Structure 1
Amino acid sequence: MSESSTRTMLVVGAGRGLGRGTAAALAATGAPVVAVARTATDLAELAATEPTVRAEVADATETQVAADLLDRYDPEVLVLVAGADPVIAPLHEHTWESFSTNWHSDVRIAFTWLGAALRRPLRPGSRIVVVSSGAALHGSPASGGYAGAKATQRFLADYTREESRRAGLGLIVTTVLPTMTPHGAVGRSGIRAYAARGGKTEEQFVAGLGDLLTPETAGSAVVQLVRADPASVAPAYLLGAAGLKELP
């Protein structure tokens, strides 16, 4: 891939948390960044501080939205961070509707955008980063179908990589699995839930997590992946406070 500062980068879910940190870090390279989110005020705050950011208020679950934005901006970097806050409850207190919240958001968004990237397709050498969750590795009994949805996102990234290989598209696809952090709504809700389940205060629980992943660290990690030699990019990474760790 040529110099990252000349390539359009599109971040889906750029309005808050790790998504905003990612969009800001990519913009700091001088690249034109298209920031997609549902909430106009979140995007306005980001665009006000990052002059190379163009805001697009849209529902990322919609197939036509994905197709239209990929056609309009022709990005060579696509980062998928968007998703819903999980409904926090033990298994037996969920309805199927609450349990499947993240299947209808996180999984649908990955399915929609990865499919659109293959059908268009993106230019050879384009990078796709799917932001999943460390919960995909170990489960998350307090958050319904969240962990399973995040594991499925990783599978979808793997399928996209394979279809790209079969069709000779040359797409570089990887999954990033962030560790739990209070620097985002999903992490904060998880911390509240697991602190309560363990009879701890939120402060005690957070202290037990050790060094914490920040939006800035997440953004730096994505920039690292965007700039890396394609042959060196692994299929998946765990992302913590110390940065990226390749997963088997």
Structure 2
Amino acid sequence: MVVGGSRGFGLGVARAAREAGARVTVVARHPDSADGVAGDATDEVFAEKVLADTRPDLLVLTAGAAPEMRPLTEHSWESFSVNWHQDVRMAFVWLRAALRLPLPAGARVVVFGSAAELRGSPLSGGYAGAKATVRLITGYAAGEARDSGIGVTAVLPVLTPGTTVGETGIRAYAQAEGISRDAFAARLTAAPTPESAGAAVLGLPATELAPAYLLDADGLRAL
């Protein structure tokens, strides 16, 4: 199951899983495939029902909001906190549902965060802090899941062209530097692609997952 599997990294994971022969369920507000389930990823009742109905052996959480890009002085609390209400809540809702069900022994849960938590992102308001919290609660869930035989980890991709969040950041930082979008994107030689991200997630070990991984053009690196 890929939550947010209709675009970006989620779409890359869903395609890789299908190509490997898996039966994939995509959760999105507006899924565009026959195997899609439409719903709000921050809705607790929805998450619990979908997981109970499908009991996936791999749950990948990639959904989240594109941050509003502006200097701190131009943010309101509402714009600054968008990713706290979306990304953090989504991770909390699905991790809690996976543990309370629980998913079958041997299942894995992979939560996409962001390398912005390691490097900062001054124009994106609370985005980097929200992603740091996503990683923290993923770690909490990993500890609680261990006795049930469920593996839980976080994946932190670097800024990546071709994804909604990546393009939002690229265009904002390019404008701030007074250069074109393409000139800024050309610097991102270490960025993965949605396709390579999908292959990397499917290649994660079934046991002894690291607490988190950095994802770049070279694949996954344990943190």
TM-score category (smaller protein): over 0.9
Pick from 178, 184, 199 the counterpart of residue 205 of structure 1.
184
Report the count of equivalent residues.
223
In structure 1, the residue matched to 2:24 is 33
Q: Find the residue that maps to 1:102 and give its secondary structure.
A: helix
Show structure 2 runs of 5+ residues with no match: none
Using the TM superposition, give the Cα deviation of residue 27 of structure 1 relative to its aligned residue in structure 2, in angstroms: 1.1
In structure 1, the residue matched to 2:118 is 137
Give the root-mean-square deviation of aligned CA atoms. 1.1
The question of whether the paired residues in 2 share the 8 Å contact of 1:18 and 1:183 is answered with no
Q: Find the residue that maps to 1:33 and give its secondary structure.
A: coil
Aligned residues with identical type, % of pairs: 52
Q: Which amino acid aligns with 2:118?
A: L
Q: Which amino acid aligns with 2:188?
A: L
Which moved further from structure 2: 208-217 or 153-162? 208-217
Using the TM superposition, give the Cα deviation of residue 77 of structure 1 relative to its aligned residue in structure 2, in angstroms: 0.8
In structure 2, the residue matched to 1:50 is none
The question of whether the paired residues in 1 share the 8 Å contact of 2:12 and 2:198 is answered with yes
- In structure 1, how many angstroms separate the alpha carbons of the residues matched to 2:139 and 2:207? 16
In structure 2, the residue matched to 1:116 is 97
Q: Find the residue that maps to 2:27 and give its secondary structure.
A: strand
The question of whether the paired residues in 1 share the 8 Å contact of 2:106 and 2:206 is answered with no
Matched, 1:20 2:11: yes
Using the TM superposition, give the Cα deviation of residue 212 of structure 1 relative to its aligned residue in structure 2, in angstroms: 3.0
Matched, 1:216 2:195: yes
Q: Find the residue that maps to 2:25 and give its secondary structure.
A: strand
Q: Find the residue that maps to 1:133 and give its secondary structure.
A: coil
Q: Find the residue that maps to 1:206 and give its secondary structure.
A: helix
- In structure 2, how many angstroms separate the alpha carbons of the residues matched to 1:18 and 1:74? 22
In structure 2, the residue matched to 1:241 is 217
- In structure 2, how many angstroms separate the alpha carbons of the residues matched to 1:229 and 1:56? 26
Pick from 87, 92, 97 the counterpart of residue 78 of structure 2.
97
Using the TM superposition, give the Cα deviation of residue 26 of structure 1 relative to its aligned residue in structure 2, in angstroms: 0.9
Q: Which amino acid aligns with 1:111?
A: F
Show structure 1 runs of 5+ residues with no match: 1-9, 48-53
Residue by residue over 1:30-67, the C-alpha shift from the partner in whole angstroms, topping out at 9 and shown as x without a partner, is 11110000014xx23xx5xxxxxx11011110001110
Matched, 1:70 2:51: yes
Q: Relative to structure 1, is the Cα distance of residues 57 and 22 closer, same or farther in structure 2, using a 3 angstrom cutoff? A: same
Q: Which amino acid aligns with 1:23?
A: A
Q: Which amino acid aligns with 1:61?
A: T
Q: Find the residue that maps to 1:220 and give its secondary structure.
A: helix
- In structure 1, how many angstroms separate the alpha carbons of the residues matched to 2:174 and 2:66? 17
- In structure 2, how many angstroms separate the alpha carbons of the residues matched to 1:209 and 1:121? 39
In structure 1, the residue matched to 2:207 is 230
Matches within 5 A, 1:78-89: 78-89=59-70
TM-score, normalisation: structure 2: 0.97
TM-score, normalisation: structure 1: 0.87
- In structure 1, how many angstroms separate the alpha carbons of the residues matched to 2:163 and 2:187? 18
Q: Find the residue that maps to 2:82 and give its secondary structure.
A: coil
Matched, 1:125 2:106: yes
Q: Find the residue that maps to 1:121 and give its secondary structure.
A: coil
Pick from 100, 108, 132 the counterpart of residue 151 of structure 1.
132
